[in-house]
Amino acid sequence: MTDNRIPDSLDSLWTTCHLATLRAGEDGYGVLNNGALAVKDKKIVWIGPESNLPEGIRRRTPTVHNLGGAWVTPGLIDCHTHLVYAGNRTGEFERRLNGATYEEITRHGGGIMSTVNAVRAADEEDLYMQSVLRLKAMQAEGVTTLEIKSGYGLDPESEMKMLRVIHRLGRDFPVNVMPTFLGAHALPPEYRDDPDGYIDLIVDKMLPAVASGGLAVAVDAFCERIAFSPAQTERVLRAAVSLGFKVKLHAEQLSDLKGAALAAQYGALSADHLEYLDKDGIAAMARNHVTAVLLPGAFYFLQETKKPPVNHLRAAGVRMAVSTDCNPGSSPCTSPLLMMNMACMLFGLTPVEALRGITIHAAHALGMEDKAGSLEPGKRADFAIWDISEPAELSYGMGGNPCRLVVKDGEIVIRREDPYTTGRDDVVL
């Protein structure tokens, strides 16, 4: 990071607050009590004790925000979402509660395919508007960066439609959106008898089109018994890497197909879910610095009993991120705060691990650790301001939202009194 000298002129100063900086090279919250933070040109330029602010700087700064003792954290980062989708899967939820399993429903043409049908049928505007509601719910809880995957189109035109909506959300709202192409999410019915033919379509047509249109930064796949085999997944990863994409993988969610080790072999940013991850997979992730993205919402909502091996991941020094997995089938969730609570209560993370998991470690899962995820000079001025008495309170609550303000690129974009504004005058909803 750049040095921490305060420039002569600033755009804004944020004072009378406590900071959980989550800065690199520390394991804790990085607490700075009675601190202040200075912003210039959309970046954090200085952080320090308020008592160290130079004489006269307040007078020379156009906007000084006295936060009255609130806590400031980095803007939250939701690093694994399927936030763009149409419809819902309430019927499937009822079937599961009457005894059907997620895998059975998927094998009978429901599950991901029922959302694919809804996305294919939806016009682009409708898909956008349905997704906006979820994005705004996340923003209200402090999210300033999120990843959004395609993967409910599964044909070239419908995947492009999803990616266009994903890009539009990033343009219209004060959030950084990382678009991920997930063409290998499920086998579309057109290829029921020819799964390798669908992989050919992805490798030969869809990936090159996504690359030439600049429509995605990363490529993901679902390596699972009900989705794609390791050999099919490997073809997607290899093609993606050769086109310059970053890669990630849905791995070891329902069974152990050694997906995490495969992801590590291709230099993946992250392997995600990981309930069935074994020792070799952990070692491969540790060796290759692959972030483990934990998704307690999916574990909870599918009533899974096998937990990801958190103790072993921790012992091996694998970074653990936490995310909503926002999607209609396995985690219809827009609450990063609830995921922090569930990461603690269901998976055994500590509150500080949960907050690191949804800030700095999530930034690593997106390859954005030099720009976001902690309060440090040189990073984007993205932060959330909370009415809490200590940082662990963010993991402690179940429901309720103590987020008072959300700041993106140095500007207030959400105020709690009116959390449903876009923060931009030119976007009318």
- Where on the chain is the footprint of Fe ion (CB under 5 A)? 325
Residue nearest to ligand NIG (CB): 329
Q: How far is the CB of 228 from ligand NIG (least distance, A)?
A: 11
394 binds, among Fe ion, ligand NIG, none (CB under 5 to 8 A by kind): none
Q: How far is the CB of 319 from ligand NIG (least distance, A)?
A: 19
Q: How far is the CB of 329 from Fe ion (least distance, A)?
A: 9
233 binds, among Fe ion, ligand NIG, none (CB under 5 to 8 A by kind): none
15 binds, among Fe ion, ligand NIG, none (CB under 5 to 8 A by kind): none
297 binds, among Fe ion, ligand NIG, none (CB under 5 to 8 A by kind): none
Task: Give the residue carrying structure tokens 């609570």.
Answer: 341
Q: How far is the CB of 365 from Fe ion (least distance, A)?
A: 12
Strand-pair category, 43-49 with 31-40: antiparallel
Q: How far is the CB of 182 from Fe ion (least distance, A)?
A: 8
Nearer to Fe ion, 92 or 325 (CB): 325
Binding site for ligand NIG (CB under 6 A): 82, 111-112, 115, 222, 250, 253, 298, 325, 327-330
Sheet with 43-49: list strands edge to edge.
43-49, 31-40, 12-20, 63-74, 383-386, 403-408, 411-415
CA–CA distance from 383 to each of 75, 374, 413 (Å)? 4, 9, 10
Nearer to ligand NIG, 326 or 372 (CB): 326
Nearer to ligand NIG, 74 or 296 (CB): 296
Nearer to ligand NIG, 147 or 376 (CB): 147
Q: How far is the CB of 327 from Fe ion (least distance, A)?
A: 6
Task: Give the residue carrying structure tokens 């998927």.
Answer: 106
Q: How far is the CB of 84 from ligand NIG (least distance, A)?
A: 12
Residue 260 and residue 252 in contact, taking contact as beta carbons nearer than 8 Å = yes
Query: Within its chain, how far is the Cα of 237 from the centroid?
Result: 20
Q: How far is the CB of 220 from ligand NIG (least distance, A)?
A: 9
Residue 238 and residue 199 in contact, taking contact as beta carbons nearer than 8 Å = no
What are the backbone dihedrals phi and psi of residue 332, each rounded to the nearest 5 degrees, phi first? -75, 70
- Number of CB atoms found within 10 A of residue 363's CB: 26
> Which string of DSSP letters, residue by residue, matches 175-199?
SEEEEEEEEETS--GGGTT-HHHHH
Instruction: Give the contacts of 108 (CB within 8 A, at least 6 positions apart).
Output: none
330 binds, among ligand NIG, Fe ion, none (CB under 5 to 8 A by kind): ligand NIG
User: E-assigned strands of 227-311?
Assistant: 246-251, 270-273, 291-294
Nearer to Fe ion, 13 or 343 (CB): 343
Nearer to ligand NIG, 35 or 111 (CB): 111
145 binds, among Fe ion, ligand NIG, none (CB under 5 to 8 A by kind): none
222 binds, among Fe ion, ligand NIG, none (CB under 5 to 8 A by kind): ligand NIG
361 binds, among Fe ion, ligand NIG, none (CB under 5 to 8 A by kind): none
Query: Within its chain, how far is the Cα of 140 from the centroid?
Result: 15
Residue 146 and residue 177 in contact, taking contact as beta carbons nearer than 8 Å = yes
Q: How far is the CB of 104 from Fe ion (least distance, A)?
A: 19
Among 409, 410, 396, 394, which Cα is nearest to 141's?
394
Nearer to ligand NIG, 329 or 336 (CB): 329
220 binds, among Fe ion, ligand NIG, none (CB under 5 to 8 A by kind): none
Residue 62 and residue 376 in contact, taking contact as beta carbons nearer than 8 Å = no
Structure tokens at 96: 């599961």
CA–CA distance from 320 to each of 278, 325, 380 (Å)? 16, 15, 22
Nearer to ligand NIG, 79 or 403 (CB): 79
Nearer to ligand NIG, 186 or 215 (CB): 186
Among 272, 275, 282, 161, which Cα is nearest to 222's?
272
